[in-house]
Amino acid sequence: MTRLLHSDNQQCQAQQFNLPDASIRLWPNWLTSQHSTSMLLALQQQLPWSQDSIMMFGKAVKIPRRQVWMGDAHCRYRYSGTCFEPQPWQPQVKAMAEQVSAFLRRPFNCVLLNLYADGQQHMGWHADNEKELGHDPVIASVSLGANRRFELKHRHHPWQLALDLTPGSLLLMAEGCQLNWLHRLPKQTKVQQPRLNLTFRYIKNVP
């Protein structure tokens, strides 16, 4: 049987960070490199990637990456004035959502997938604090493809942290992280390879 996760051996030690006001943990080798490479190729080819626009100063501006919003049918997501209906689960993404939930013992029922063609593509400072995600969202982030730097900064103090998000890594942004910190994926012009990131989230099904 192909082994998909390193969760049963030494390579899957968590890195802890003593961040004030937030709990985060990183497993740099959560997936095997074989699984991480095959996932990247399959998802790049199979998903309906779109380059969405956001409104800035009254104008539609294309975001510098491609995205897919996926999840359970009730998981509608409002982002920068637009409501996104979820794509149905792609089987490998669904399997990964279940593995992440089981590993972290947290529920996840939707995911934002981001595809960065190269180091020119990026994501600016933000927190994942949309109303649908509740008061203090817990986000799990899996990275595939190119190694990229990921930065966090406190909202009210001059505290910053930079991490390396290696292919196959799992980052848990838990309690406090979205309330008290911002994060971004900066440009890295020397990076020429694509990177794919999946941020698993949870939206309550309110009848």
Q: Which residues bind ligand AKG (CB under 6 A)?
A: 112, 114, 123, 128, 141, 150, 165, 183, 185, 197, 199
- The stretch near Mn ion (CB under 5 A) out of 31-39, 72-80, 127-135, 147-155 is 127-135
The answer to whether 62 and 51 have CB atoms below 8 angstroms apart is yes
Least Å from the CB of residue 29 to Mn ion: 22
Q: At 154, which helix (H) or strand (E)? A: strand 148-154
Helix, coil or strand: residue 181: strand
Q: Is 132 in the site for Mn ion (CB under 5 A)?
A: no
- The stretch near Mn ion (CB under 5 A) out of 23-31, 121-129, 157-165, 189-197 is 121-129
Take residue 205 and report the two structure tokens written for it. Answer: 């099904």
- C-alpha 62/C-alpha 54 separation (Å) is 6
C-beta of 5 vs 100, nearer to Mn ion: 100
Q: Is 128 in the site for Mn ion (CB under 5 A)?
A: yes
Least Å from the CB of residue 184 to Mn ion: 8
Least Å from the CB of residue 199 to ligand AKG: 4
Running DSSP on this structure, what letter comes out for residue 114?
E
- C-alpha 8/C-alpha 137 separation (Å) is 27
Q: What angle do CA 163, 186, 178 make, to 5 degrees?
A: 65
Least Å from the CB of residue 94 to Mn ion: 21
Point out which residues bind Mn ion (CB under 5 A).
128
